Structure 1
Amino acid sequence: MNTQRKKVIFILPTLLAGGAERVVSFIAQNINAEKFEVCLLIVGFESDSAYAVNGVRKIFLEQKRVLYAIPKLIKVLKKERPDLAFSSIAHMNVAMGLASLFLPKIKFIGRQASVGKITASVENDTQGWFGRNLTNYGLRKLDTIVCQSEDMLNDLLENHRLDKAKTVIIHNPITQFPENCKKIGSPGKTKTFITVGRLTEIKGYLRILDALGKLTFDFRYIIIGDGPQKDIIMNKIKTLDLVEKVEYISFTNEVHKYLLNADFFLQGSYAEGFPNAVLESCSVGTTVIAFACPGGTREIITHGENGYLAKDEKEFLKYLDAAVQFDPIKVRESVYKKFNQNKIISEYEELFMKLTTGT
């Protein structure tokens, strides 16, 4: 083994299906093996893994909750002695900030996954005084926080009073860039819309369905995902008499196939971190119709170039009703030049080297 390599441990609560899990496991598999020795440390259970992470050593703590796993996390990190520990998702980052008090020789990076204040407001997930202060304290103990968008960075600075010098913006990479690109649909054929994402209030499925219920032309709408709002969404579909038009898929490993065959990707979110599904949709050339919400959507979608950004539900309906696709090749190129994996992985490698060597 090359002793000059820097040892990096990537830390996640689980390997369940989710954007953070996929992006972090992708980074772990693709950073330069000649420069970095990599290990993936998972708080949860190996049996729950939705992603196959090949070529990377994995440690599963087999614990249900991050809070109760902190002593085990510290024990493993003391044994492994990495140069750098990289965590993702807010509560995991707070836990690692607290753990850093016992591990002064390790550099800690936290990757934020959402615009916290807006997400908490929409989903009515407010913290008390103790929770807010514990979160602030834990985040401030990290050496660096990676944000996925300008809005996420501003949210952190405003609501957690972080040192801006300890933050950096690195977008998510396109984790799969398929060879095939969609073709513009035939005039007059039934339009196919699709949304991929967790079934939660913040994702805005209900306002998408309200808009679809007002369309006067025939269409098909595919929903891929699972989550706590599933029953509410299914009941909404029945109430709007859309059962015959909606196809529901809880999970599939063939998301790209569905995106490739859809005419438009719909995003109803009230806030986003950096929407991987929107990025993937553009990567196959599928036009996006989205609300101009806080987060990374506005850094992926250029209105009138690769999609539409609606300021309200009336405008969203207008774009649905017009349903004009952009040139798939141009849609694809618009995201490749900004978010291809070589560019994003290089940005992570530069950050890791800067923290571990000062260069």
Structure 2
Amino acid sequence: MKSNRIKIVFILPNLLPGGAERVVSFVADNLNRDLFESKLLIVGKSEDASYDLKNIDVTYLEKERVLKGILAIFKFLIKSKPNVVLTANTHLSTAVACLSVFFRSTKFISREVTLLSLDSKFFDKKKKRFNYMSFLNNISFNLFDKVISQSEDMKQDLIKNYNIKKENITVINNPISDSFSLKPTSNKNGLLKLITIGRLSKEKGIPRLLKILSKLDMPFHYTLIGDGPEKDTIFQLIDEYGLSEKITHINFTKNVSKYLSENDIFLQGSYFEGFPNCLIESCSVGTPVIAFDVPGGTKEIVINKVNGYLVDTEEEFLVKIKSKIIWNSSEIRESVLKKFNQSIILKKYENLFMEVINQ
């Protein structure tokens, strides 16, 4: 008997620890099974998988790079005959957009993960006159039936810099994808406990957080969780600032909720963000956030004096760390649950899939 469910293939480069990997695999694993038949296609290797998926068929192409997996993706789509394909990651989306011309009856959706124009400028050291990735993005975006942006800032970036029609962009924030419980009690031992979780890459601004902490004249301990290309530079700065005894570094953990609950304040030093999962996760356990007011989704999460502070300068950041505000953990939690809980975000994805099928 033929199923009437909508067949969706989600494609990711890998299942390594990361925001896009966590959110897309969560959505794929938790759609309404009465309406949708989901498959997850991973270009990378099964040995790298960091997320446990229980309700979905996962296929690994075991490729080292997206470029080497294009033919395999093509063959998979021919065999699967999906109604909808959703992809995340700019390079992968560009490749899949090129394949979309061969599947005229399939709807293709791209989920963007950052503010592309800022990301390009931030890492383009040579300042080339011709940015080939920007050129390819301009072409590929218009091959998609819909583009998902994680924040309003990202939507405006796509409209302004990549000539995407605003009616083709849907804003869907990230969900609180795990079950985070409200922490039982606040810290009363006098030692201020601070934490940051995220990729150790340049745009995350860890060096400026370390500079701020080097000026903090009160007892504290800082937990830094994450790995990435700036790891050696960050450890060198930790030594230079004399912070080695005050910092614990952890490469990766699946016990995110535990560490967030054990700390007093989450610190974010990013220069721009797509939609930072770590902030809604911190707030969901009742731990407030101090972050720079930068382009991206941060300002859609942090509400001053409710669940944290947005600041403009390093000096202001330091002042807020030292402030003696008494936070209401339940209020912090409610501020994100009412906007980003799983059922709300999953429903938005389901509505988008139904909409694109009925176009």
In structure 1, C-alpha distance between the alignment counterparts of 2:200 and 2:337, rounded to whole Å: 28
Distance 2:97 2:145 in 1: 9
Aligned to 1:149: 151
Normalised by the length of structure 1, the TM-score is 0.96
Partner residue, 2:317: 316
Distance 1:325 1:119, change over 3 A: farther
Letter in 1 for 2:338: K
Letter in 2 for 1:241: G
Q: How far off its partner does 1:159 sit?
A: 1.0
- SS of alignment partner, residue 295 of structure 1: coil
| Mapping of residues 78-89 of structure 1, within 5 Å | 78-89=78-89
Task: After superposition, give the CA deviation of every residue in 1:96-137 in whole Å (9 maximum; x if it has no partner).
Answer: 211111111110011000011222222336674433211211
Q: CA deviation at 1:354?
A: 0.9
1:226 corresponding residue in structure 2: 227
Deviations 1:287-337 (A, max 9, x none): 101101111110011111110000111111111122534210000000000
Matched ranges for 1:74-153 at <5 A: 74-124=74-124, 128-153=130-155
Match of residue 158, structure 1, among 146, 156, 160? 160
Residue 62 (str. 1) matches residue 50 (str. 2) = no
Partner in structure 2 of residue 248 of structure 1? 249
SS of 2:207's equivalent in the other structure is helix
What is the CA RMSD across the aligned residues, in angstroms? 1.4
| 2:303 maps to 1:302 | yes
Q: Deviations over 1:228-248 (max 9, x none)?
A: 000000000000000000000
Query: Is the contact made by 1:5 and 1:37 (CA closer than 8 Å) also made in structure 2?
Result: yes
> Contact 1:8 / 1:85 at 8 angstroms: preserved in 2?
yes
- Native 8 Å contact 1:85 1:108 kept in 2: yes
What is aligned with 2:179? 177
Alpha-carbon distance in 2 for matches of 1:220, 1:123: 31
In the TM superposition, what is the alpha-carbon distance from 1:182 to its structure 2 partner? Answer: 4.4
Q: Determine whether 1:348 maps to 2:349.
A: yes
Q: Which runs of 5+ in 1 are unaligned?
A: none
> TM-score scaled to structure 2, two decimals?
0.96
Could you say which residue in structure 2 is the equivalent of 1:192? 193
CA contact (8 A) 1:195 1:222 kept: yes
One-letter identity of the residue aligned with 2:72 = K
Q: Is the 8 A contact 1:262 1:286 kept in 2?
A: yes
Deviates more, 1:314-323 or 1:8-17: 314-323
State the secondary structure of the residue aligned to 1:162.
Answer: coil
1: CA distance, partners of 2:46 / 2:297: 31
Q: Which stretch shifts more, 318-327 or 10-19?
A: 318-327
The amino acid across from 1:93 in the alignment is S
Equivalent pairs counted in the alignment come to 357
Equivalent-residue separation in structure 2 for 1:218 and 1:226 (angstroms): 26
Give 1:219's aligned amino acid.
F
Report the alpha carbon displacement of residue 2 of structure 1 after superposing the two structures with TM. Answer: 6.1
Counterpart Cα distance in 1 of 2:355 and 2:80: 21
- The equivalent of 1:270 in structure 2 is 271
Amino acid at match of 2:308: G
More moved, 282-291 vs 1-10: 1-10
Alignment partners' CA distance in 1, 2:177 and 2:324: 28
Structure 1 stretches of 4+ with a deviation exceeding 6 A read none
Partner of 1:290: 291
Q: Is the CA contact (8 Å cut-off) linking 1:153 and 1:167 kept in structure 2?
A: yes
* C-alpha distance in structure 1 between counterparts of 2:87 and 2:43, whole Å: 11
Letter in 1 for 2:165: D
Q: Which amino acid aligns with 2:284?
A: S
Quickly say closer, same or farther: Cα 1:86–1:323, change in 2 above 3 A: farther
Alignment partners' CA distance in 2, 1:276 and 1:142: 25
Show CA shifts across 1:242-294 (max 9, x none): 00000000011111100001000000000001000011000000010110111
Query: What do residues 152-204 of structure 1 show as CA deviations (whole Å, max 9, x unaligned)?
Result: 11111111111111101000001123233343322x61000000000001000
SS at match of 2:74: helix
Q: What SS does structure 2 have at the residue aligned with 1:251?
A: coil
Query: Residue type of the partner of 1:259?
Result: L
**DSSP 3-state at the match of 2:14:** coil
Quote the Cα distance in structure 2 between the aligned partners of 1:253 and 1:239: 30
Match of 1:46 in 2: 46
Structure 2 stretches lacking a partner, 5+ long = none
Name 1:332's counterpart in structure 2. Answer: 333
Aligned to 1:21: 21
